[in-house]
Structure 1
Amino acid sequence: MGVGVFVNFWVAIRVSDRQPSVSTRAESTQSVMSMTFAVSGYDESSLIRDRSFGVSVWNDSTTLPTWMKEYFDWHRTQRQLHLNETNYGQFTFLVVRCLKHDLKCGGTADRLKPLPFYVLLASRMHRILLFHWERPFLLQEFLVPPVGGVDWRLPTSWRRDQFSDTIEIKNLKDITPYLAKPHSGRYRKPLPAIACILYQSHDHGALQYNQLALQQTKEATYEEVFRDCWNSFFVPSPPVQSRIDQLRQSLGLVPNEYVGAHVRSQYHSYNGNKKLKVLVQNAVACASRLRTEVRQSIYLTADSERALQVVGESSVGMRNLPVVRRKGDRPPLHLDRGVAYLAKSATNWTYHDDPRAYYDIFVDLYLLAGSRCIAYNVGNYGKWAILLSSNRSCTINHGKTTCRWKILS
């Protein structure tokens, strides 16, 4: 079953007594305003989306189920034809949030990896799915909607007091009122404005997605839809994409022509039980087993700078392998663990006054996902990259497998 991870999801639900019909809302022929937002380090005008009904990024997917494509089409219609900066009070929303005063939001994977499950819930609720971060920065600093994709950003005039009421949802039973028809059975009253989803999950909604989505039809699983679903919502922001491109060029990484290895070294079960050097050496050794050509390098990333430094101190066998890594002058920042990274109940949050300090979280994710095969261990970051990759079957769990070097000649 894997290691249980305490996940805290805030899901905000904006409700109204009556959801206007499409025809009613269409009476307002105002063009939707370009919902721009402040993003540091570049001209935000470059982020304004194409509002024409051109090609949708999900059109050519042979994996996404029909209901999901139809929801994306509906979502896009609401954003482009009806919703603007002044009338959003007439609509209903499902908002995945992390506000400054929220006690816990989880790490990056905790916040974003449940995406297919959120889409399923939003579809069943007939609500517009949006994402909103305040901590550590706006999500738009790191990821933006693709042209022709799902626009998940909040209207800029959305008031902070929209997030005033909360209710906790701890399991699927608590979600039932939101999945019921608006005026059916005992759920006749308007639902609370904000719901907080708080539950133990090691798979970030995969089990729940598969149970709900596959009840009556044979369709792709959570794992199978994840990549196309993600690409319908997110692409790297321009500065993050620029950093990805720079590293690919400097390290000689050609998509699908190198192997990725991720090391989670700062983990409760590893604390004091595994030597870092042995852990990193085995990760690289396992990655070497995935290489098929001499020219294929190994891109190594880890949750600590010390783990990356081990490469240069290791045995001759490792040094004979073409291992490349991102070099930095500071340890990687984590979204929601602070300095007490190994604490079971960490209350400190990481803080930095520059969003660029967090870019490498997403840079490493996309570089791992761009590899042909991935070696990973505990945690969800490496598994997240696998879901985003083009070959989910080419993996090794180096935390469960002891590997010997494979030197190609």
Structure 2
Amino acid sequence: MFDLPNFNSQDLILGSNITGNKHVGMKDPGIRHLEHVTSNQANDDKKLAKDSQAKLKNTVNELPNFIRDYIAFHKSSCNKPVYENKYMIFTEKHDFAGGGIGDRLRGLVFTFFWAIATNRTFLIYWDNPFNLTEVFQPATDLDWNCNIEEAFNRSTFFYLPNAKEIAKYSEKFNSGENWPAFTAVQTNYHAMYVPKKYPKPMKELFQREKVSLHSLSLFEIAFNALLKPSKALTQRLMEMRSAIGLKDQQPYITMHLRMGKAGNVTWKDPPRSRPEDIPKLLKCGRKLRRDYSKKFDIPQEELPLVFLTDSQESKQRVAAENSDIRTFDSEIIHIDKHVKNIEAAPKQGYIDAWAEFLLIRESRCIFIPGGLRAPTSSPGQGHDSAGLGNNATANGAVATLGHVLWRGLYDTGAVLSSVLRLH
């Protein structure tokens, strides 16, 4: 696997750090003081802009040669008339289900490498329930938003949510030439994690470059090459970090439990985990913190346990009953539940969902329940929390990626050092 620098989301965005000026002027908004704050903010912005450019350069330099070559090809194609290029457009249309964050990222990265393998210009058309540009911008010279409206309007659309649909287009799927010049694809098919199911051009690309999407770091490389958090998303992430008292660069452990209906979420989702699973999860998290603290010589009090879930009710319960567990209020939504009712989708919930994703992504260790599937398993399973135990150890925390890879929520762990599955 490629060695990656330990970037986090604020490393790649202008104006991302919250300085000591955050609360300045709230009680004394005098003009002189306000001018001082404005001046400091301007200086901070200049420094952050310079730092961001340096980070961007480092990010590009860390990319494999074939991706750097593709970025140069992509930049050149964006400067040509639209009709001179062939396109592969990852699509999230407003009237088609695409899954949650993890499902969509799986399809996005899969389509990205498919475009590279077939020498097509990769673009993203995402307007469901909001445009992707609300939360992300192009991270490098690979501008996936260039000429998007014209290219998408010329496109033939293919909806490929599963193996059955892909089988209908198997001949096209295995050839870069048989697709229309303007092709829009919506997919979250799990073939991304099954090398034998890669389209033929992708197989040839990965064999030639000696890489595989089965590698977590290659997913991370794609994420860094494509997506830079917007100012709105970065600001919300900083607010979340502040709410739970995380210092800059402080390591922490994330515990995540999906509750669904069992947690009284506001969207229609079947029961996932059970309320009685929460104390078990916290017990295991505490044991993992002790082991991790000992193994990496980090005082336990400097290694916070952060509890995240889709259920605001469950967060409030955990906060009330466990003084050592950190959590916060948020208004996350399941982004796929507003496909047919975009008008009702709260934008803040969309931003909060992505901010929690980034918070998980930046954690030192991710903790999830057991009883979960491997990435090669069939879809539709793996949300149960059977088998929760207390056998968590730092050494055993690297056992399997299983559910982590499959669901996609944790696919891009930039500083991920261990993923725990309980048996």
Q: Same fold (TM over 0.5)?
A: yes
Q: In structure 1, the residue corresponding to 2:344 is in which secondary structure?
A: coil
Residues 87-166 of structure 1: pairs in structure 2 closer than 5 A:
87-100=81-94, 102-146=95-139, 148-155=140-147, 158=150, 161-163=153-155, 165-166=156-157
CA contact 1:109–1:384 (8 Å) conserved in 2 = yes
The Cα offsets for residues 303-341 of structure 1, whole Å up to 9 and x where unpaired, read as 121221230454xxxx25x2111214x5x2111125xxx
Residue 225 of structure 2, aligned match among 206, 226, 232: 232
Find the aligned partners of 1:139 and 1:159 in 2 and give their Cα distance: 17
The structure in which a higher percent of residues are helix is 2
Find the aligned partners of 2:270 and 2:87 in 1 and give their Cα distance: 42
Query: Mind listing any 5+ residue stretches in structure 1 that lack a counterpart?
Result: 1-45, 339-346, 402-409
CA contact 1:57–1:149 (8 Å) conserved in 2 = no
2:328 is matched with which residue? 326
Q: 1:217 to 1:162 in 2, by over 3 A?
A: closer
CA contact 2:115–2:121 (8 Å) conserved in 1 = yes
Q: What amino acid maps onto 2:333 in structure 1? A: L
Deviation at 1:234, TM superposition (A): 0.6
The Cα offsets for residues 334-390 of structure 1, whole Å up to 9 and x where unpaired, read as 11125xxxxxxxx85564365223111111011111111111245667864543224
2:301 is matched with which residue? 294
Q: In structure 1, the residue corresponding to 2:336 is in which secondary structure?
A: coil
1:60 is matched with which residue? 61
Deviation at 1:251, TM superposition (A): 1.9
CA contact 2:86–2:182 (8 Å) conserved in 1 = no
Find the aligned partners of 1:216 and 1:66 in 2 and give their Cα distance: 12
Q: 1:396 to 1:204 in 2, by over 3 A?
A: same
Q: 1:381 to 1:361 in 2, by over 3 A?
A: farther
Q: What amino acid maps onto 2:411 in structure 1? A: L
CA contact 2:233–2:351 (8 Å) conserved in 1 = yes
Q: 1:286 to 1:351 in 2, by over 3 A?
A: farther
Find the aligned partners of 2:208 and 2:120 in 1 and give their Cα distance: 22
Deviation at 1:180, TM superposition (A): 3.3
Deviation at 1:75, TM superposition (A): 1.4
The Cα offsets for residues 214-269 of structure 1, whole Å up to 9 and x where unpaired, read as 4455335442211121011111110110111122223221335111111111179x
CA contact 2:123–2:146 (8 Å) conserved in 1 = yes
Deviation at 1:138, TM superposition (A): 0.8
**Is the aligned partner of 1:218 residue 2:210?**
yes
Q: What amino acid maps onto 1:230 in structure 2? A: F
TM-score, length of structure 1 as denominator length: 0.66
Find the aligned partners of 1:356 and 1:199 in 2 and give their Cα distance: 24
Find the aligned partners of 1:385 and 1:274 in 2 and give their Cα distance: 16
CA contact 2:122–2:144 (8 Å) conserved in 1 = yes
1:389 is matched with which residue? 413
Bigger drift between 232-241 and 165-174 goes to 165-174
